[in-house]
Structure 1
Amino acid sequence: MKRYLLSTLTLSVMAAFASAADNVHTAAPVAAVSGIDTQYIDPAVRPQDDFFEHLNGKWLKATEIPSDKASWGTFMKLRDDTLPQLRGIIEADAQSPHKKAGTDAQKIGDLYTSFMDEKKLEALGYKPLTGELQRIRALKDKKGVPALIAHLAQIGVTTPYGIGVAQDAKESTKYAAYIRQSGLGMPDRDYYLKADDKRMAETRAKYEQHVATILALAGDKDAQAKAKAILAFETDLAQAQWTKVELRDPEKSYNKIEVAKLSELTPGYDWKAALAAVGIGNKVDYVIVGQPSYLSGLNQILNNTDIETLKAYFQWQLLREYSPFLSKAFVDANFAFYGATLTGVTENRPRWKIGVSTVEGAMGEAVGRQYVEKYFPAERKARMEVLVKNLLAAYKESIDNLDWMGPETKKQAQDKLAKFTPKIGYPNKWRDYSKLTIRADDLVGNVMRASTFAYNRNISKLGKPIDREEWGMTPQTVNAYYNSRLNEIVFPAAILQPPFFNMEADDAVNYGAIGAVIGHEIGHGFDDKGSQSDGDGNLRNWWTAEDRANFKAKTDMLVAQYNAFSPLPGYNVNGELTLGENIGDNSGLSIAYKAYKISLGGKPAPVIDGLTGDQRFFMGFGQVWRTKMREQQQIVQVKTDPHSPGQFRANGTLRNQPAFYEAFGVKEGDKMYLAPKDRVTIW
């Protein structure tokens, strides 16, 4: 996900492994604070039966999900705690009488000002979109569709396919153009296609009415009939689309096709016009198509759909994207479906919070630069570097000792591990927003220009060297990520706070919390997807057939375990969709435990608050997954999210850890117990 602050010291993994002594980095001396929220422990639930409920039970019983949230827990609370800090930065820029035109501060402040001017937005209604609506209505025939799709994509509007630039998955030293499926207004194809699911049927009916409501607000007198046609069109798109499980296969999603041969996939569709309209027509001779069968299906759908339905669909997608930036009637209608219906939220977020998110979406790194200067102490980064080194050392040791992998594959795995690049806190090089124009009296124009700026910045990468300093998240993001093509792990500044990273606490909780996060992200380099790329970021098979078969046998067991978990009656976790994240959790916690032992340097861990070091380690892991979720949002998560629900990320991971059994005396007959033959240990 994203990382932040100062002068990002990129660790040289090769140097870190230069000698055995360099691999051992002992814990920093800290006060004897456990870092465990013992106030939330429910003594009525045994840790051997339900560790998540035992550790978080009192919190789960006492906590109400805030009315403007679909879920609530450690991630969301930390994000919510960060928002006032960001608000202070942004409002200071907005109110400064000395800000110079063209500076980041002027743009941040004026964008926020334009969003908060509700009186002006109310007077404008949907007038700021008049020009774009007229552009769509002026579409005379389907020959104009490719250019229209390109234009709408540039201003951030969902279209039936997306064109973007990323590293070529099989030639990671250069950028390539990608074409991928898109086009839906609901979260997943299941919302359109599940005929036997009552909740989905009800949501479809409400979606159709919502489309009609928005079209009517924009003056369409035939809104109801058009909404019906739009739903039918999107249902056809959904039918042609790949499932989220299918999308996880990097080999099947890599289809290198010469531009001249795209017409074989979509006869009659003018890709020359489409690529020219996005500015890459003369820059590429091939594209990488993610889902070829979808493009073929889309071509037939476009051929079979009348021009008026297409125009209605494009108008709807434009209005859908920009409703949050129009008058109150649009804002409220948008929230009624995308907030209340889809996620169960009963109240929209305060306007200032949405304004902060809007500024972050447009100029996230400019805000992040000020955030890290004010809120990210250098000592956090220094201590985090020690944890990362110990996690990498633990992975190195673990690979050497694997009993299911042969020496040839181990050599390749070690080569990949040695090439990992950690990024901590914030980027070395900040994003340049000098070409972005922001005006205090033009919210919709600001959002369009920001979308176009980001789109053009992406497209402009073609033909340039790979930017290895770029971050995919802002420093103020409460998250982390692994990027297989750069083979990097990234940890933004904002996640380096309690309960993930506690500077005042003994290291046991930190290794169980942020240590497991570090291990999780490294683990993505060796999960079912990441393990298909090498240390240079190229998609290639570096495994022997026997070792890959052994790996698959283990991951199949993990799929079966998670398929059995059900957060709601009738809705089970999808073990295949969540496999990569479950491998990350499984491996991350296992390796974090080994790294914790490395950090002790052979010395015994202290007992704090009556808890051993091992107990605090696993409790540190369990408490970061503290979360509650509304039923509607839980369904969205199960259908769309590659992450398992929090309670299963905790319990499902712990049940596979031998050291957990020893720390808490878990025995046969306990509900957390899995027979040794059924436990999955991968890395």
Structure 2
Amino acid sequence: MAEPRPSTDEENAPLLAGGGEEQDQQQQQGQNKILGVYDPSRPLTRLEKVLGAVALLFLILSATFIGLFAGTEHTLKKERSKHGDPVTYTTTATATRTVPPGGPVCTSSDCVVVAASIVQSLNTSADPCDDFYEFAVGGWLDANTIPADRGIYGSFHAVADNNKKILTKILDSIDENSSDKGAEAANRRKLKTVYSSCLDVDTLNKAGIEPFSPLAKFVVDKFADFNINPLPKEDSLVDAAWWRGAYDESYTIPERLAAAAEKNARIREAQRRGELRRSAAPVVASSEPLDLKPEPFPKERRDKITTVLSFLHAREVDTLFNFVIEGDAAGNDSQIQALQFWQSFGGLPAKEYYDEAPIVDLYHSVVTGVLTEIAKDQQSATKRSLISDLAGDVTQDGWPWPWPGDDKGDDDEPDETFEERIDRLAGLVVDFEAKLIKAGADLEYITNPHYANNPYAAKDLDAALPFIDLPAYLSTFALRLYPETVIVTYPAYLKSVSKLVAKTPDHVLSAYFITKLALTYATALGPEVPLRGHVRRLTEALQGIKKGTEENRVDVCLGWVDNLVGFIAGAEYVQVAFSPEAKKDGEDIINNIVTAFHDKLPHIEWMDKESATAAQKKAKAIIPKVGYPLYPDTTKPESIGAWYSRLNVKKDDFFGTVVQSTLIDNSRAWLSVGRKRNRDSWLMNPQTVNAYYSPPDGEIVFPAGILQPPFYSIDWPEYLRYAAFGAVAAHELTHAFDNQGAQFDENGLLRDWWTNSTLKAFDERAQCIARQYSKYWMLDAEGNKVYVNGNLTNGEDIADSGLQQAHAAWKALKLKDAGLPGLDFTPDQLFFIGFARIWATLVRPATAIARIRTDPHSPGIWRATGTLRNLPAFHEAFGCKPGSRMNPPKKDQCELW
């Protein structure tokens, strides 16, 4: 299922890591709700146990106060013993107290629990006007640790871990052998079978490479054998000397490569999921004419390549090129699904990696290992077949003597050993792939919609790709409507890939195809299968995982559940972790924030009337979606059952389930070409801890997975709901009105609707924010300051400033908000404390620096601090005097929205 660019911070790498990056996500039952607001990776403190008992037993109000204050005193005594110095509260002047001392206090169990969580999070020895981050989350930072297998841990990760617990408990409770009738029971059995078949590593390891073998055999049978002997020495000779022996296990990925890999990974994942965050740089659309009369290509070879590419692409194996299907924002209707021709991606993370000798040496050895395992498997299968045939011949005709051989006898030594041949072939594959990847455009260019939107007639594309029969290729996907036009993201690639294929021998192409097959599907084999071991070795080196680190099989299988039967898992998750009332409340919060933003637009001084009017029109057109999709309908088991009706899950064939699911999802996508997207569909599963804005669809979407503490609870006071979930919602909304969102109008079409003067004024204020964030820093392992790249993080920093709209929306409710028990803070103050809590993050120095180099989001501390330093409502709430650290001089503050 296509999914778009993640957006809120840990929304990217560790938070959403799924399929690709350590990914992505799951969840805990209703009775564990109290524990869910605490960090699940540590034991409960005495304070938390006391307050949990208070919440569960609904003690009377007076007992609640006694427990809370006693717990707070315990925390202070603990701090005194830790630091050796008295710990004191810092009293700040509050300009406007909306709840006077002795005013209303929320005493529900949920308010008691969240109050306890806030008490535990605070460090009241810090001055909120000097270091608000330490004040709001210092207690949380002291009480938590980073898990050993991670480089970062924060609120987003805590929610994702808690959601995994919810899903694990659901999965463990399902009886796979239940005879219950009905769609829901059938869905649950299918869900459990996928999970249990993934966990059954004994069966997976015993099966070995066998489940993978038919895929490789198809390529060999329908195209060409790669394991030929002798291997022609005149074929595309490659001098591997420049990389051979360059890699050793002490090698670490240079920062420049890590940055390129991270950038490409984000783009590739966004492309895979269906939506890309587009560059805003103005680039003239390519008008390069296609070469419609390339060199003739042998028809027989063309037909064989067409057959094998159809087979591989149907199974989402990225070879030579690939097609992406998404809304045509440059056409007349952004909901019409169009076919886009993309350049191929390689087995290494980015183009720059193919010039790094140690990495190429490692990759060469991995490809050698992959081809060796598959060649041996093919040879074993051939021997088994020959022995079977021979046995039949002996029975019928007797032993064949003399044994058939050549005139030279059977004792001649080959020019090369099997190992030498495969090693040399692997070098040819690496060289071919390097040339292929370098023929493509840099990804930042083809993510610019103006540069990459090059429509060509399908017949012209067919003529420009002589190595493939495009009509025959497309017919294999059973299109309902044959596309007359195809969007080509980089026209120059067509000629380059055609020339490269023409001069590359079949056995090298076959080895390349099979290598890409292995890189795509080896992870679905047992962890002890040698083929998977070779691919794992590459993953470990590229991701900095300690060699031999044992995988967490439960996490691996939860990821597969999400990919294969994510909507069934989502329906189960919603039943225990998300109510219809929460869905309605979430929608109301978003709509109120949109209204606040809409009403403010005419009063933004740097935006002229024409642009403001157009922006208001776009605001009204925004479609908020909360909780779960209705296509398939998460609330109806029959709808979900129909969605997965073609998926035949077998307990002893997990690999087959993976391949089958891929074929079904791919087929569903191809059938949408030329048709309107179903508006009830989503690009994420309900259990996902993330949110997104889709420019062509004009949608801001928030799965149930992120509407969990500390982001949301329907039973919290409004100021906390707007502070945390409201901040996420305002962040996504703001993306619709930044210099990227400005490229898409209220209908999701690619059209600039800002005037030049407004765009210039926006850029000036955006640069103010970029300069401001470039002054923020993190410490490396040696204690040196490494500064944030404010230009890299600019778009996300601007989106974070949407907090002002969340605050305005809450204030517009004009509620008489109740305070929280045991916390002498006004609702305004609690609003900003609630906001800071979502950015509570612990990070190792190496990870912090790597993310500064590559992540378009600022570190958590600055996402909280930087946003609040620019917000007058915060200064007023805590009485921060002008010139204080949290209320800098006006010339150092930046305001956009």
State the one-letter code of the partner of 2:323. Answer: I
Name the amino acid aligned to 1:536: N
Alignment equivalent of 2:796, drawn from 549, 569, 581: 581
Instruction: Determine if the alignment matches structure 1 residue 318 to structure 2 residue 517.
Output: yes
1:482 to 693, 707, 723: 693
Secondary structure (helix, strand or coil) at the match of 2:610 reads: helix
Return the alpha-carbon distance in structure 1 between the equivalents of residues 591 and 481 of structure 2.
45
Q: What amino acid maps onto 2:146 in structure 1? A: I
Contact preservation (8 Å) 1:179, 1:289: yes
Instruction: Give SS of 2:894's match.
Output: coil
Residue 177 in 1 paired to residue 339 in 2?
A: yes
AA paired with 2:800? Answer: D
Q: CA deviation at 1:124?
A: 1.4
Of 217, 220, 229, 1:134 maps to: 217
Worse-matched range after superposition: 268-277 or 505-514: 268-277
1:441 aligns with 2:642: no
Name the CA distance, whole Å, in 2 between partners of 1:230 and 1:560: 46
Do residues 509 (structure 1) and 720 (structure 2) align? yes
SS at match of 1:428: coil
C-alpha contact (below 8 Å) 1:163/1:178 kept by paired residues: yes
Counterpart-to-counterpart distance in 2, 1:217 and 1:668:
69
Q: What is the alpha-carbon distance in structure 2 between the residues aligned to residue 116 and residue 126 of structure 1?
A: 17
Q: Residue type matched to 1:653 in 2? A: T
Range with greater deviation from structure 2 (441-450 or 371-380): 371-380
Matches of 1:544 and 1:669 in 2, distance apart? 36
- Look up the match of 2:58: none
User: Matches of 1:574 and 1:384 in 2, distance apart?
Assistant: 34
Of residues 142, 155, 158, the one that matches 1:77 is 158
Distance 1:639 1:276 in 2: 45
Moved more, 214-223 or 107-116: 214-223
**How far, CA to CA, are the matches of 2:324 and 2:736 in structure 1?**
23
Residues 629 and 125 of structure 1, relative CA distance in 2, 3 Å threshold? farther
Q: 1:139-188: per-residue Cα shift (whole Å, max 9, x none)?
A: 34576445433322322323343213222113224221122334123334
User: 1:96 and 1:498, CA in 2 relative to 1: closer, same or farther beyond 3 A?
Assistant: same
Match of 1:548 in 2: 759
The answer to whether 1:537 aligns with 2:745 is no
- Structure 1 CA distance for aligned equivalents of residues 446 and 792 of structure 2: 9
- 1:257 aligns with 456
Equivalent runs, 1:614-653 vs 2, <5 Å = 614-629=828-843, 637=851, 641-653=855-867
Map Cα deviations across residues 419-455 of structure 1 (whole Å, 9 max, x no partner): 1111111123425111222222211111011011111
Q: Which residue of 1 aligns with 2:273?
A: none
Alignment of 1:185-196 (within 5 A): 185-192=347-354
Larger Rg: 2
1:389 aligns with 2:389: no
User: CA offsets per residue over residues 80-129 of structure 1, 9 Å max, x none?
Assistant: 11123222333444523215699423322322232122222112111111
The answer to whether the 8 Å contact 2:328/2:335 transfers is yes
Contact 2:370 / 2:534 at 8 angstroms: preserved in 1?
yes
* SS at structure 2 position matched to 1:328: coil
User: What letter corresponds to residue 871 of structure 2 in structure 1?
Assistant: Q
Could you say what secondary structure the match of 2:870 adopts? Answer: coil
The total of aligned residue pairs comes to 653
Instruction: Quote the residue 2:322 is aligned against.
Output: 162
> In 1, distance between residues paired with 2:545 and 2:887?
35
Query: C-alpha separation between the residues in 2 aligned to 1:158 and 1:93?
Result: 36
**Counterpart of 1:128 in 2: which secondary structure?**
coil
- How far is 1:516 from its partner? 0.7
In the TM superposition, residue 511 of structure 1 has moved relative to its aligned partner by: 1.6
Answer yes or no: is 1:414 the counterpart of 2:616. yes
SS in 1 for 2:701: strand
In the TM superposition, what whole-angstrom CA distance separates every residue of 1:491-543 from its partner, at most 9, and x where no partner exists?
Answer: 11121111001334333232221001111111121122222111111111222
Greater relative CO (CA pairs within 8 A, separation 6+): 1
Aligned to 2:813: 599
Q: Deviations over 1:265-294 (max 9, x none)?
A: 656655444434444496101112233344
What pairs with 1:461-480 in structure 2 (closer than 5 Å)?
Answer: 461-480=672-691
In the other structure, the counterpart of 2:564 is 362
Q: Secondary structure at the match of 1:423?
A: strand
Residue pair 1:477, 1:494 contacting (<8 A) in 2 also = yes
| TM-score normalised by L of structure 2 | 0.66
Mark the CA change 1:526 to 1:46 in structure 2 (over 3 Å): closer, same or farther: same
More divergent stretch after superposition (658-667 vs 167-176): 658-667
> How big is each residue's C-alpha offset from its partner over 1:186-217, in whole Å with a ceiling of 9 and x where there is no partner?
33444445x6xxxxx76555444444444444
Residue 353 of structure 1 aligns with which residue? 555
Residue 111 (1) aligns with residue 313 (2):
no
Q: Give the residue type in structure 1 aligned to 2:568.
A: A
Residues 90 and 356 in structure 1, CA contact (< 8 A), matched pair in contact too: no
Asked whether the equivalents of residues 162 and 182 of structure 1 are also in contact (C-alpha less than 8 Å), the reply is yes
Query: Matches of 2:459 and 2:195 in 1, distance apart?
Result: 45
* 1:458 has 2:618 as partner: no
Q: Is the 8 A contact 2:570 2:685 kept in 1?
A: yes
Tell me the distance in 1 between the aligned counterparts of 2:201 and 2:463.
50
Q: Name the CA distance, whole Å, in 2 between partners of 1:160 and 1:630.
A: 39
- The CA deviation string for residues 288-322 of structure 1, in whole angstroms up to 9 with x for no partner, is 22333445544454455544443333222221222
CA distance in 2, matches of 1:573, 1:184: 30
1:171-250 alignment to 2 at 5 Å? 171-192=333-354, 205-219=361-375, 221=419, 222=421, 224-250=423-449
2:490 match: 291
SS at match of 2:195: helix
1:342 corresponds to which residue?
543
- Aligned mate of 1:658, from 858, 872, 888: 872
Shift, 1:667, TM fit = 6.0
Describe the superposition over 1:440-481 as per-residue Cα deviations: whole angstroms up to 9, x where unpaired: 221111101101111111111124333000011111111111
Q: Counterpart of 1:505 in structure 2: which amino acid?
A: W
Q: Structure 1 residue 324: deviation in Å? A: 2.1
Tell me the alpha carbon deviations over residues 315-352 of structure 1, each in whole angstroms, 9 at most, x when there is no partner: 22221222222132345554444256505468444322
Q: Provide the C-alpha distance between the structure 2 equivalents of 1:388 and 1:41, rounded to a whole number of angstroms.
A: 28
Using the alignment, how far apart are the partners of 1:625 and 1:320 within structure 2? Answer: 36
| Equivalent pair of 2:776/2:787 in contact (CA under 8 Å) | yes
Match of 2:824 in 1: 610
Structure-2 change in CA distance of 1:666 and 1:167 (3 Å): same
Seen in structure 2, the aligned counterparts of structure 1 residues 100 and 415 have a Cα distance that, compared at 3 Å, is same
| 1:151 counterpart = 2:304 | no
CA distance, structure 1, for counterparts of residue 105 and residue 735 of structure 2: 28
**The one of 628, 638, 647 aligned to 1:426:** 628
Contact 2:868/2:874 (<8 A) preserved: yes
Q: CA RMSD in A?
A: 3.6
Q: 1:256 to 1:598 in 2, by over 3 A?
A: same
CA distance in 2, matches of 1:365, 1:128: 26
Matching of residues 295-314 of structure 1 within 5 Å: 295-303=494-502, 305-314=504-513
- The one-letter amino acid paired with 2:539 is Y
Distance in 2 (alpha carbons) for counterparts of 1:637 and 1:266: 40
Distance in 2 of aligned mates of 1:644 and 1:305: 45
Which residue of structure 2 aligns with residue 11 of structure 1? none
Q: Which stretch shifts more, 329-338 or 310-319?
A: 329-338
Structure 2 unaligned spans of 5+: 7-24, 27-103, 225-300, 377-418, 633-639
Match of 1:9 in 2: none
TM-score (norm 1): 0.85
Give the whole-Å Cα distance in 1 for the aligned partners of 2:313 and 2:854.
22
Please say if residues 372 and 493 of structure 1, whose CA atoms lie closer than 8 Å, have aligned partners that are also in contact. yes
Report if aligned partners of 2:480, 2:673 keep a CA contact under 8 Å in 1: no
Give the conservation status (yes or no) of the 8 Å contact 1:258–1:285: yes
Q: Which amino acid aligns with 2:169?
A: G
